[in-house]
């Protein structure tokens, strides 16, 4: 993969860039040490970047996939202006298989498929690029609305806990759960953020802390296993997380460790909020048991920064997501509003707004 750097420091809102007819993805595996972009010029490079977690976070994965479709269509049309549609299917399947749990990936590809179906003759890339750019812009606008809705649920002034990374790096800009935190902090409702380090990829340590420090929002990093003790100590009003897929009954798939946070939050009387765009809700998935959970390589747990940390011969169970039952969720917040104590009927009513 080709690497490039931008002049000056990079902001989280610059994690995905369309520049010079190519997709530039900030390599999140190398943050916070290096601010380097991977250049994607075709669908295979885009799918590899998604699969290897150069880009991560459900909304950002969807946006990257949309640009990947543009690159694929441009390439296929250049090779065969008459038969490009049939050849494109291979690229769409390649992109769809890159991260199977994140429903935004499939949603974005489906949206581009609709555009492809409406196209006449000529080069498809310009029209598909317009759609990908629209998805990108809309995601940021939706995040801003989501942030305001979520902030409205927070009363008084206290600390919050968050898990993984849900900011501009994981979205088209501003963030989902981190967008709620940003909005609430600007309103004087949050005094500090406790960020789980989020093993084994350390998205909280490497990415969330990086974003919050740059924003000037007080952040204290803690081991994932410290969260329950932090709740017991008092002063935490909400746990605020994102989602990679929300089932039709309100069950939530998110970064591994989220379920444990929800259980601890309920025990300690701490509210639990999920912030995610409506595109993350999958009405075709009836409940959490039907959500495919991606298993990642054993090396992610056996090593840290390429160095062995475990006894040789140890086995590994490494699901990248877990499922939090809807009964443990106090509120799901989307760009369309708030679903309090979600269930199947409330999710269906919410989707009817679309």
Judge whether residue 3 has pLDDT over 90.
no
Domain final residue pick, 75, 109, 141: 141
Of 193, 269, 199, nearest in space to 231 by CA:
269
The verdict on whether 244 is a catalytic residue reads: yes
pLDDT of residue 256: 98
- Same domain membership, residue 195 and residue 155: yes
- Domain identity same for 64 and 202: no
pLDDT score, position 325: 98
pLDDT at 179: 97
Q: Say whether pTM exceeds 0.85.
A: yes
* Residues 96-112: tens digit of each pLDDT: 999 988 788 999 999 99
Q: Does the pLDDT of residue 1 top 80, yes or no? A: no
* pLDDT at residue 5, rounded to an integer: 85
Q: Are residues 154 and 272 in the same domain?
A: yes
Element (H, E) at 191: strand 190-196
Tens of pLDDT, residue by residue over 149-193, are 999 999 989 999 999 999 999 999 999 999 999 999 999 999 999
User: Residue 13's beta-bridge partner residues?
Assistant: none
What's the CATH code of the domain at 28? 1.20.120.420
Residue 2: pLDDT over 90: no
Contacts (Cβ under 8 Å, ≥6 apart) of 163: 195, 196, 198, 204, 224, 227, 239, 241, 254, 255, 257, 258, 261
CATH of residue 150: 3.40.50.10470
Query: What DSSP state is assigned to residue 296?
Result: P
Residues 173, 322, single domain; the answer is: yes
Peptide bond into 213 cis (omega under 30): no
* Active-site residue, from 244, 282, 322, 330: 244
Domain extent for 291: 146-351
* Residue 121: predicted pLDDT: 81
Give 297-322 pLDDT, tens digit per residue. Answer: 999 999 988 899 999 999 999 999 99
Respond yes or no on whether the N-terminal peptide bond of residue 32 is cis (omega within 30° of 0): yes
How many domains, in total, are found in the chain?
Answer: 2
CA dist 250 and 351 (Å) reads: 12
Among residues 17, 336, 5, 345, the alpha carbon closest in space to that of 168 is found at 17
227 and 286 belong to one structural domain = yes
């Amino acid at each position: 993969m080709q690497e490039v750097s931008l002049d000056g420091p990079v902001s989280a809102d610059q994690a995905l860039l369309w520049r010079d007819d190519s997709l530039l993805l900030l390599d999140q595996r190398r943050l916070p040490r290096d601010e380097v972009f991977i250049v994607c010029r075709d669908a295979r490079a885009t799918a590899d970047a998604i699969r290897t977690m150069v880009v991560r976070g459900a909304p950002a994965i969807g946006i990257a996939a949309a640009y990947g479709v543009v690159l694929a269509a441009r390439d296929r049309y250049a090779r065969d202006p008459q038969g490009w549609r049939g050849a494109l299917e291979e690229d769409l399947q390649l992109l769809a298989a890159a991260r199977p749990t994140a429903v935004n990936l499939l949603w974005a590809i489906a949206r581009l498929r609709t555009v492809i179906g409406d196209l006449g003759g000529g080069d498809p890339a310009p029209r598909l690029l317009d759609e990908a750019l629209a998805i990108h812009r809309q995601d940021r606008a939706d995040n801003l609305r989501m942030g305001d809705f979520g902030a409205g649920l927070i009363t008084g002034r206290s600390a919050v806990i968050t898990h993984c990374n849900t900011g501009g790096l994981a979205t088209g800009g501003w963030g989902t759960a981190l967008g709620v935190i940003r909005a609430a902090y600007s309103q004087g409702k949050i005094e500090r953020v406790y960020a789980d380090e989020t093993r084994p990829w350390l998205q909280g340590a490497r990415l969330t802390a990086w974003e919050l420090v740059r924003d000037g929002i007080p952040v204290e990093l803690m081991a994932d296993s410290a969260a329950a003790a932090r709740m017991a100590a008092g002063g935490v009003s909400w746990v605020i997380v994102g989602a990679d897929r929300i089932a039709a009954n309100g069950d939530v798939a998110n970064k591994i460790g989220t379920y444990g946070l929800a259980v601890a939050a309920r025990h300690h009387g701490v509210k639990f909020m999920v912030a995610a765009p409506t595109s993350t809700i999958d009405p075709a998935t009836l409940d959490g048991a039907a959500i495919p959970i991606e298993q990642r390589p054993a090396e992610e747990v056996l090593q840290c920064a390429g160095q062995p940390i475990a006894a040789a011969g140890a086995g590994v169970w490494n699901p990248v997501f877990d499922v939090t039952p809807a009964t443990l969720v106090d509120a799901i917040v989307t760009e369309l509003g708030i679903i309090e104590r979600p269930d199947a009927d409330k999710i269906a009513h919410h989707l009817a707004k679309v």
